[in-house]
């Protein structure tokens, strides 16, 4: 026993003093150092950004300010300054930059580790050679000196709006289109060119295929039939005289072309909804507001105590004369409005939700036939569109049927005949009450009123009792109906 003690003590001491530092402390140091080095490398990589500078000029060596420079595939970028210079921080230095500018061809250039990159942009001659319709004919865009804005028909077709006046909003500079109604058949936008110019009529002059002030304007034109649309401002519209004081909108429809007949069909299905639906007070909030109104029948010094009493018991006894003031709704009523435990006796009717749909469908079908020869060219088009209202089971709606025939004939060397035939049928469906009255009554609808159920009839009687005129009007009819029902009942 005495000989084994030192041996045992030495082994235990060896484990505490020798093994512990070697097997435990050193691995911890290694892990800590590794994590520190890893985080340091990450930090260095995060801050290791390369700085790229350069200048953008045109073919004549002139600086181009406002050139857009983007890293391809990202939203990182910058624009050139007034002298055409730019500075851009890159994370890798191997990115590809996209240089774009209006009227010039876009370029994609790889940085390839460079710190300086100068770029020369070439002008887009194709864009400058585009034909622009002006008041007295056609011009190339490069020769137009007046204030003219143009949009192509292919861009208008992309808009899902059923009314063409709503499709030009935001597509041409200086043109403002505002819409104050979304009702089918009455959703035309008010168009202003460079704002309002007079105290009277500020409407722009509409010219369609050379015919000014054509009935119907541009509201119901089929965008698939339009080749281009130009807006003339200021002196560019002077050829039309005083009628062009508010600007001119020129619409050119598509024409036929030589070649084999081509048939095209397009289908557009869209859905619309009100931009904003008012958020009305709930039934509990309405009841609470009614109780607050009753407080104002008391002297001001009792309002605070009366409000606490209304919330606690539903009544308040005045300390001066002992009269009792009752709340319009008791605390139990407000509780049931909140939790919905009594939907018939304490309803919380959302009148907008009951009357309006979440989405309203609209559809357009267009069929076109284009063709002709060297002497005769034709384009014929038929279109159908149907627009539903926002109401559930609505009586409001709009349907349109239209066709177009554009015929160009070369009779002789000196005689050309250009013919355009247009027809349109518009069917508008409206209820007996206008949209303004419908939305006004929805906004005034009482949330504590029952929409449907066994209590709806007594509530109707109470509404009629509050209006003698309505009572005299409806009561005889209801009396006859009850009489017929009683006679029909078996004895």
Domain of residue 240, CATH code: 2.170.130.10
In a domain, 244, yes or no: yes
The confidence band for 201, taking pLDDT boundaries of 50, 70 and 90, is confident
Query: In what helix (H) or strand (E) does residue 134 lie, and over which residues does it extend?
Result: strand 131-134
Q: How many domains does the chain have?
A: 5
* pLDDT for the residue 86: 93
Candidate from 149-158, 222-231, 308-317 with smallest mean pLDDT: 149-158
In a domain, 81, yes or no: yes
For the chain, what percent of residues have pLDDT higher than 90?
23
Candidate from 7-16, 203-212, 365-374, 480-489 with smallest mean pLDDT: 7-16
| Mean pLDDT computed over every residue of the chain | 79
* pLDDT for the residue 149: 77
User: CB-based burial of residue 472 (10 Å sphere; 0-12 exposed, 13-18 middle, 19+ buried)?
Assistant: exposed
Query: In what helix (H) or strand (E) does residue 5 lie, and over which residues does it extend?
Result: helix 4-14
pTM: 0.59
60 plus 168 within the same structural domain: no
pLDDT digits (tens, 9 = 90+) for 301-330: 989 999 999 999 989 998 888 889 898 899
Distance, CA of 388 to CA of 148 (rounded, Å):
36
* pLDDT for the residue 446: 85
75 plus 37 within the same structural domain: no
Query: In what helix (H) or strand (E) does residue 228 lie, and over which residues does it extend?
Result: strand 226-233
The mean pLDDT value for 24-33 works out to 56
pLDDT digits (tens, 9 = 90+) for 355-364: 888 899 999 9
* pLDDT for the residue 217: 80
* Residue 290 phi, psi dihedral angles, 5° rounding: -65, -40
* pLDDT for the residue 379: 94
Q: Which of 319, 349, 379 is the last residue of a domain?
A: 349
Nearest residue to 262 (alpha-carbon basis) of 365, 366, 370: 370
Which segments of 353-396 are extended strands (E)?
360-372, 376-388
pLDDT digits (tens, 9 = 90+) for 234-271: 767 777 777 778 888 888 899 998 889 999 999 999 89
Domain span at residue 481 reads: 454-488
239 plus 145 within the same structural domain: yes
In a domain, 179, yes or no: yes
The mean pLDDT value for 419-438 works out to 89
216 plus 154 within the same structural domain: yes
Distance, CA of 36 to CA of 41 (rounded, Å):
9
The mean pLDDT value for 98-127 works out to 85
Evaluate if residue 460 carries a pLDDT over 50.
Answer: no
CA dihedral 414, 212, 152, 201 (to 10 degrees): 160
Evaluate if residue 161 carries a pLDDT over 60.
Answer: yes
Nearest residue to 119 (alpha-carbon basis) of 128, 129, 110: 110
The confidence band for 439, taking pLDDT boundaries of 50, 70 and 90, is confident
The mean pLDDT value for 5-21 works out to 40
Nearest residue to 118 (alpha-carbon basis) of 50, 72, 69: 69
In a domain, 112, yes or no: yes
243 plus 132 within the same structural domain: yes
* pLDDT for the residue 361: 92
In a domain, 266, yes or no: no
* pLDDT for the residue 80: 92
The confidence band for 11, taking pLDDT boundaries of 50, 70 and 90, is very low
245 plus 304 within the same structural domain: no
Distance, CA of 466 to CA of 355 (rounded, Å):
25
Largest CA distance in the chain: 137
120 plus 169 within the same structural domain: no
In a domain, 44, yes or no: yes
137 plus 224 within the same structural domain: yes
Q: Which of 75, 94, 125 is the last residue of a domain?
A: 125
7 plus 30 within the same structural domain: yes
81 plus 164 within the same structural domain: no
Nearest residue to 254 (alpha-carbon basis) of 216, 223, 218: 223
In a domain, 448, yes or no: no
226 plus 316 within the same structural domain: no
Evaluate if residue 275 carries a pLDDT over 80.
Answer: yes
C-alpha Rg value of the chain to the nearest Å = 39
pLDDT: which is higher, 129 or 318: 318
Q: Which of 298, 315, 349 is the last residue of a domain?
A: 349
Distance, CA of 23 to CA of 15 (rounded, Å):
10
What is the 8-class DSSP label of residue 223? G
The confidence band for 455, taking pLDDT boundaries of 50, 70 and 90, is very low
Query: In what helix (H) or strand (E) does residue 33 lie, and over which residues does it extend?
Result: helix 26-47
Distance, CA of 398 to CA of 387 (rounded, Å):
5
CA dihedral 148, 153, 155, 158 (to 10 degrees): 150
132 plus 118 within the same structural domain: no
In a domain, 237, yes or no: yes
Q: Could you tell me if 115 and 51 are in contact, meaning their C-beta atoms sit under 8 angstroms apart?
A: yes
């Amino acid at each position: 026993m005495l000989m084994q003690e030192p041996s045992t003590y030495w082994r235990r001491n060896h484990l505490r003093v020798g093994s512990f530092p070697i097997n435990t402390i050193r691995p911890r140091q290694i892990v800590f150092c590794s994590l520190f080095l890893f985080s340091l490398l990450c930090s260095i990589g995060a801050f290791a950004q390369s700085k790229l500078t350069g200048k953008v000029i045109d073919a004549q060596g002139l600086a181009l300010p406002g050139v857009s420079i983007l890293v391809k595939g990202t939203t990182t970028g910058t624009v050139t300054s007034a002298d055409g210079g730019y500075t851009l921080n890159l994370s890798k230095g191997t990115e590809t930059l996209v240089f774009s500018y209006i009227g010039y061809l876009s370029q994609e250039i790889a940085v390839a580790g460079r710190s300086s990159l100068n770029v020369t942009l070439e002008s887009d001659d194709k864009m400058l050679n585009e034909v622009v319709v002006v008041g007295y004919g056609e011009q190339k865009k490069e020769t137009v000196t007046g204030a003219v804005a143009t949009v192509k028909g292919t861009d208008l077709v992309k808009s899902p709006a059923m009314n063409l006046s709503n499709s030009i909003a935001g597509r041409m500079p200086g043109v403002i289109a505002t819409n104050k109604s979304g009702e089918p058949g009455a959703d035309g936008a008010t168009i202003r060119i460079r704002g309002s110019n007079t105290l009277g009529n500020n409407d722009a002059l509409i010219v369609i295929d050379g015919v000014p002030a054509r009935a119907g304007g541009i509201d119901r034109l089929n965008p698939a039939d339009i080749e281009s649309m130009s807006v003339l401002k200021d002196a560019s519209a002077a050829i039309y005289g005083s009628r062009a004081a508010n600007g001119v909108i020129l619409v050119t429809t598509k024409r036929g072309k030589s070649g084999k007949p081509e048939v095209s069909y397009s289908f557009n299905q869209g859905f619309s909804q009100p931009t904003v639906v008012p958020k009305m007070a709930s039934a509990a909030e309405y009841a609470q507001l009614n109780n607050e109104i009753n407080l104002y029948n008391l002297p001001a010094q009792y309002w605070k105590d009366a409000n606490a009493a209304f919330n606690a018991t539903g009544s308040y006894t005045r300390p001066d004369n002992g009269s009792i003031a009752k709340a319009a709704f008791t605390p139990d009523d407000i509780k049931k409005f909140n939790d919905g435990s009594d939907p018939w006796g304490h309803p919380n009717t959302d009148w907008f939700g009951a009357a309006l749909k979440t989405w309203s469908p609209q559809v357009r079908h267009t069929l076109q036939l284009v063709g002709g020869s060297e002497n005769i060219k034709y384009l014929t088009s038929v279109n159908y569109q149907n627009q539903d209202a926002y109401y559930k089971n609505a009586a409001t709606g709009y349907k349109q049927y239209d066709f177009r025939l554009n015929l160009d004939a070369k009779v002789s060397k000196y005689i050309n005949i250009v013919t355009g035939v247009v027809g349109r049928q518009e069917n508008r469906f409206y209820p007996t009450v206008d949209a303004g009255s419908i939305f006004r009554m929805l906004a005034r609808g009482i949330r504590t009123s029952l929409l449907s159920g066994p209590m709806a009839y007594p509530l109707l009687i109470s509404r009629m009792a509050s209006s003698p005129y309505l009572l005299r009007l409806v009561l005889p009819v209801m009396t006859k109906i009850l009489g017929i029902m009683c006679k029909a009942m078996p004895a």
